[in-house]
Each structure stands twice: as structure tokens, then as C-alpha cells.
Structure 1
Amino acid sequence: MTVSRSTRQRDVITRVLHDAEGPLGVGDVLERARTDLPALGVATVYRTLKLLTDQGRIHPVTLDGETRYEASGKGHHHHFACTRCQRVFTLHTCPVALPSGTVYPGGFIVEAHEVTLYGQCPQCAQAS
């Protein structure tokens, strides 16, 4: 069975996002996908990210004004952004006990929350 070029590109980009330790920017996706597809172009990455987002297979995450992408279906989680190496990691535990429906002081009704922690990842902390 022959796989079309666009399907191969889509599969590689999907795998890159699925295997990532956290959400990736477009440049990171391009760099990692070029391991398997050296001729891959940035326009194809953008088109594929839009298609995968429209299909609900991935979703955008905005951190410090930059849009990054991660695979959907990871459940409730948060992120850790390393201030040295700039990588972003997925945290699988929630540091905030604030369930949906909680009434926050002032009358704010919580529907959801996002938390990003900043600091040094283990590799960068060890190198200090």
C-alpha cells in the first residue's frame, strides 16, 4: 500500500506531537519532523497543524504569547516552562484544587483553569 506524501507528513507530525514531553512550537515541530522528512517545509507544518486542530486530534496552547501544540486526549494537566532551555513539559498532577463550579471570592464561578509553572527543568537545574 502506498502512503501519499501528505498522509506521511501528517503521520510524522502527529507522532512528533504525541511523543513530545510537552506542547511544541511550530519550529520545534518542524525540526523534529525533519528527522524523518528532511524536505519538510514550514508551510506544510502550518497547514497540517491547522488540519489536525480542526479534526480535534491536537489543540493549541498559548504560553507567554506563543502558540504551541499538543496531542488531544491527555486529560486535565498543566505545564512547566523552563526559563533556561525554553522547553515546556506536561505536568500530570494538578497543583490547584479548584474544581469546576467553585465560587471564587468576589462571586467568580470557576469553569476551568490553566496553570503554567516557571523555573528550571531537572537537566538545567543539575547543570547550574
Structure 2
Amino acid sequence: MERSTRQRTAIREAIGLAGRPLLPQEVLESAQNQVPGLGIATVYRTLKQLVDEGELRAVRLPGDNPRYESVNHGHHHHFQCTTCQRVFDVHACPGNLARLAPDGFTVEDHDLTLYGQCLTCQPKPASRRPATSKPQTRR
């Protein structure tokens, strides 16, 4: 049974608007824009309910806490920024990776995570100043 439709709606919208998998704390911070009194316990409880109901899925990266995203994305992979730790969707797939499995093994699924720096965290190229000409001296 839903405790609060307003809270649940804010949590759904936070995940939907983000366009990327979110940590529970990120869900809380975003959803609090609509429901200022929302607490982390409610976020965890609601995330669990939405996963159990098949509306959300947990994205589990090695050595990291689960993030949550909509199940409506279909098959896709992820990119994790090594600077800010945010995770982004990658809507491309290398295809059938069965050829990488040992002989006789059957591949049932795969998950691929790319690591690097997101656009926000990449160092900005140093701006080049236009070459200045030396002032000419009058004789």
C-alpha cells in the first residue's frame, strides 16, 4: 500500500527527469524540490516497492551502491565518470558477446560499463590568447 502518492510521484519524477541511474541520495535531493519534508527512509522504502512492482530496476556496478532507473529503457549499458562518480546511460551495444565465453559455455546476458570522465568533469582546454604584436616605436 502506498504511503503517500505525492512522495511516490516525486520519486518517480526524480528518476524520470534525471535521464540516468540515480543513487537514493540523488533521488532524495531531486524529489525534495517537490516534497521538502521527504526523508531518506521513505526514498529507500519507495525504491524497494517500485523495484518489487517491476517499475524500476537496480543498476549495480562493482564496488558501488545500487542506483535506480526505469525499466522502460530497454537493453543498454552504462558509463561511470571516474571523477564525479555519476552514472550515465549508453544506448549502444556491441551485440552478442558469446564468442568471448569459454568453449561450451552459454551466455545468457551481459552488462558493460565504460569508465572515464563525463563532459562536466573533463579538463577544459587552455584558452589561447591571440598573439599580440609588439608596439611599434617611432623614430
Q: Which runs of 5+ in 2 are unaligned?
A: 126-139
Letter in 1 for 2:5: T
Q: Distance in 1 between matches of 2:18 and 2:61?
A: 16
> What is the correspondence of 1:18-97 to structure 2 with a 5 Å cutoff?
18-65=16-63, 66-94=65-93, 96-97=94-95
Task: For residues 5-63 of structure 1, give each alpha carbon's deviation from its aligned partner in whole angstroms, at most 9, with x where no partner exists.
Answer: 71011111011111223111111111111111111001100111011111111011111
Contact 1:21–1:88, Cα closer than 8 Å, also in 2? no
RMSD across aligned C-alpha pairs, in angstroms? 1.8
Structure with the bigger percentage of strand: 1
Q: Distance in 2 between matches of 1:67 and 1:37?
A: 23
TM-score by length of 1: 0.86
Distance change >3 Å, CA 5–CA 110, structure 1 → 2: closer
Identity %: 51
SS of 1:64's equivalent in the other structure is coil
Q: Distance in 1 between matches of 2:124 and 2:61?
A: 25
Matched, 1:105 2:102: yes
- Give how far 1:123 is off: 1.8
Q: Could you list the runs of 4 or more consecutive aligned residues of structure 1 that deviate by over 6 angstroms after TM superposition?
A: none
- Give how far 1:77 is off: 0.3
Name the structure 1 match of 2:115: 118
Task: Point out the structure with max Rg over C-alpha.
Answer: 2
- Give how far 1:126 is off: 4.5
Q: How many residues align structurally?
A: 122
Q: Distance in 2 between matches of 1:126 and 1:15?
A: 31
